[in-house]
Amino acid sequence: MGKYILVHDLGTTGNKAIIVNEKLELLASGYTPFKQYYPHANWVEQSPEEWWTAVVESTKEVLKSSKINPADIAVVSFSAQMMSQTPVSKDGELLVDRTAIWADCRSGEQAERLHKYFGGLDNYYKIHGVGWQSELHVINKLRWIKDNLPEVYNKTYKFLQAKEFIAQRLTGNFATEWGDASMCAYMDIKERKLSEEIFKAAEIDMGKIPDVLESHDIMGHITSEAAAITGLKEGTPVCLGSGDVICSDVGAGVVERGMAYTYIGSANWTGVFRESPSTNPKVKMNCSTCLPWPNAYHLVLITAAGGIAQQWAKDNFYGLDSIVAEKLGAEIYDVMTNEVAKINPGSDGLIFLPYLRGGGAPHFDINARGAYLGAVLPHTRGHFVRSLYEGISFNIRWLYELFESVDVPIFSLNEIRAIGGGVQSNVWMQIYADINNLPFVRVHNPQQATATGAAIMGGVGVGIWGSYQEAAKLVSTTKRFTPSPEATEIYNQLYPVYKSAYPALKDIFDKISEFQVKYMNE
């Protein structure tokens, strides 16, 4: 058996490939971006063929840069964006050019039908435990396809998540796994099985869902055709890994009660380990996803815009600076950090609502929009960026309070582990600690944590480690951020103002959304 693990981390903006060894040490990394398309307001699509191209290119890149013999790859595993369904025929032929991804909210009409069938949203939620607004649910996306693209629906042999589409290209086999399935809103989450009642209500053929495996199960092996295209060795085992949310939990080493983490990637979320799912409609968790061992669930609340908001600020506030920084060999995020560090906590009263993508906790409102409040002439670009960091951090505090309201402890924990590309900013991590009055601890190679989780899944699958708990001991932490009492006091004064802003603006957001649906094009 080989001694290395190849992981593909199919995110929202691109595919990252990494190779690690049995100590989870990073040996090579490559990244290939792909596009998002916005044909209408609240529609978000990607091209599965662009996913495949990105996987092929990044595979070749890491094999070349690492100089590793493909025969020494023990297993290929995946972390990936969730809540997308790609229709394919029995021979794996792609039936659409572009597919709706997780952030696509077009299936509102289909969601309302399901709510009505079950006698309200709360009853529906109690079965599947997916608190994302129902327009995002995979079961409703499938019904949208059936309603609007009946010829595609009828030709579909299986609907595949992003990673499963790639795995099928690599192996010729069709499969999904319980982690991704538990985010689709078509499971009975307490019984850990597909819900016949939900499929019946949606009038979707359950047979179009692939066989459901555990994340670490070997679902197939690299075919000769895939080997010729990618450079991998024919016969190399492939496991599905899981969705990015589940992989991030494992990659952060959060594998037992009393542990939690926060992730700043494209989105921003917090996950807590529990032995049972949460289906209390008082607080609808974004998900209570299944972890790949018995009596293990991952309770999550998510804000749709996290690091993507930081990227938005970089692109729109620092366009010329980025060009200059690149020519000088500097990092533009360091420029942003230096400016933010000069601004006092509270950004002199400038407040940012981080809803550049609608949806997600705590409001689950697809019409919510980003907003700056309190701007005055003395505010500088640095104020606007610090306020953005603070707004996202305030939103996480709100999510922590929601956890606490359903008896999931957060504020009494010893620490919160921090992962994702955004946590590399010391200034932002200190803001998180100050706003939440909690220590935050950055995991080693935080931007690789989701891929690390997928690597652990693959390694468990081929026997490199005997259990997830054994592998999690290899996950180390680096810098610790402790709250500043002075900064925390300032944020405590500003936080109630922040919380009052969304309710005050909700009607305005609805009207803006209506305008954008009418006039905003791709």
The answer to whether residue 469 sits within a structural domain is no
In whole angstroms, what is the distance from residue 375 CA to residue 94 CA? 49
Mean pLDDT value of segment 198-225: 98
264 and 208 in a common domain: no
DSSP 8-state secondary structure symbol assigned to residue 37: B
Q: Which domain holds residue 97?
A: 4-240
pLDDT given at position 132: 86
Place of tokens 């949208």: 144
In whole angstroms, what is the distance from residue 96 CA to residue 28 CA? 33
231 and 157 in a common domain: yes
The answer to whether residue 494 sits within a structural domain is yes
Confidence of residue 519 (pLDDT cuts 50, 70, 90): confident
Residue 332's domain is classified under what CATH number?
A: 3.30.420.40
Higher-scoring residue by pLDDT: 133, 383:
383
In whole angstroms, what is the distance from residue 120 CA to residue 131 CA? 13
pLDDT given at position 116: 97
354 and 266 in a common domain: yes
Tell me the CA distances in angstroms from 257 to 11, 104, 142, one per residue in order.
28, 33, 35
pLDDT given at position 359: 77
Structure tokens belonging to residue 410: 């957060």
In the chain, % of residues over pLDDT 90: 87
Domain tally, the chain: 2
For residue 1, pLDDT beyond 70: no
For residue 187, pLDDT beyond 80: yes
In the chain, % of residues over pLDDT 70: 99
Final residue in a domain of this structure, among 194, 215, 240: 240
The answer to whether residue 468 sits within a structural domain is no
Higher-scoring residue by pLDDT: 438, 359:
438
DSSP 8-state secondary structure symbol assigned to residue 44: -
270 and 353 in a common domain: yes
pLDDT given at position 304: 85
Confidence of residue 522 (pLDDT cuts 50, 70, 90): low
pLDDT given at position 398: 97
The answer to whether residue 413 sits within a structural domain is yes
The answer to whether residue 462 sits within a structural domain is no
338 and 190 in a common domain: no
pLDDT given at position 204: 98
223 and 275 in a common domain: no
Higher-scoring residue by pLDDT: 265, 353:
353
Give tens-digit pLDDT for 280-328: 999 998 888 999 999 999 999 988 888 899 999 999 999 888 888 788 8
**Among 81, 143, 154, which Cα is nearest to 110's?**
143
Confidence of residue 263 (pLDDT cuts 50, 70, 90): very high
pLDDT given at position 379: 98
Give tens-digit pLDDT for 33-86: 999 999 988 899 999 999 999 999 999 999 999 999 999 999 999 999 999 999
353 and 389 in a common domain: yes
10 and 145 in a common domain: yes
154 and 294 in a common domain: no
The answer to whether residue 282 sits within a structural domain is yes
**Least confident stretch, 189-198, 350-359, 437-446, 482-491:** 350-359
**Among 409, 442, 399, 449, which Cα is nearest to 274's?**
409
Q: What is this structure's pTM?
A: 0.88
**Residue 305 · residue 355 · CB < 8 Å:** yes
Mean pLDDT value of segment 209-222: 98
Mean pLDDT of the chain, nearest integer: 95
In whole angstroms, what is the distance from residue 293 CA to residue 102 CA? 25
286 and 394 in a common domain: yes
Please give the backbone phi and psi of residue 154, each rounded to the nearest 5 degrees, phi first.
-65, -30
Query: What DSSP string runs through 234-250?
Result: TT-EEE--EEHHHHHHH
Burial of 308 (0-12, 13-18, 19+ CB in 10 A): buried
